[in-house]
Amino acid sequence: MKIKFLLILMLIFTTSVFAQEEKSKIIWNIKVNSFEVKEKLHTVTPVTQYDRSVVDVNYDNVPSNGNVYLLVDLEINKTSGGNRPFAWKDFTVVDNEGNKYNRLENDNFLQNHNYNRMRGDDLKLGKNNGFICIELPKKITEKELHLQYEYEGEIKKIQLK
């Protein structure tokens, strides 16, 4: 009788262990608030000098020849505990042909154009908001693009529409 009881318990235990769904390794929720394609960025900012005169300062940024800027306003939130940072090297824009494009290493210029820039180092905690900049060939902006985050073989895709 005890053996039957133990066998039934073991069967129930092993069945419940195998029935559990494997948890996602990606602990970051990624949301696109908006995005825009720009052929150039131009901003004029009035700056007050020491003598109280005002001078207009021009900020101009232009992508490489034949390219455009894709500006993406993101919200990236950590969904559970753990030591896994959100690494920008694992975050790309992918076109229909599978070509991958990374965030510009230095998109600090976004602040000169009144865009709230997302931190450029690996994200480790909480809620993170802001714009990132990716340079893309002009010809592919008409194609369907998606964002992709890869972590330990798992891929999370976010459609850009």
Percent of the chain's residues with pLDDT above 90: 54
Q: Is the model's pLDDT at 161 over the cut of 80?
A: no
35-93: pLDDT as tens digits: 999 999 999 989 999 999 999 888 999 999 999 999 999 999 988 877 788 999 999 99
102-160: pLDDT as tens digits: 999 999 999 999 999 999 988 888 899 999 999 999 988 666 899 999 888 888 898 88
Torsion sign over Cα 83, 89, 95, 98: negative
**Residues 69, 133: contact at Cβ < 8 Å?**
yes
**Helix (H/G/I), strand (E/B), else coil: 142:** coil
Tell me the backbone φ, ψ of residue 7, rounded to 5 degrees.
-65, -40
CA dihedral 48, 52, 54, 57 (to 10 degrees): -40
Q: Give the angle 157-126-130 at the CA atoms, nearest 5°.
A: 65
In terms of residues, how long is the chain? 161
Question: Mean pLDDT, the chain, as a whole number?
Answer: 84
For residue 33 the two structure tokens come to 């608030």
- Return d(Cα 102, Cα 37) in angstroms, integer: 15
For residue 142 the two structure tokens come to 């008409």
Q: Which residue type, as a one-letter code, is found at position 110?
A: L
Alpha-carbon radius of gyration of the chain = 23
Go through the domains of the chain in sequence order and give each one's CATH number.
Answer: 22-160 (2.60.40)
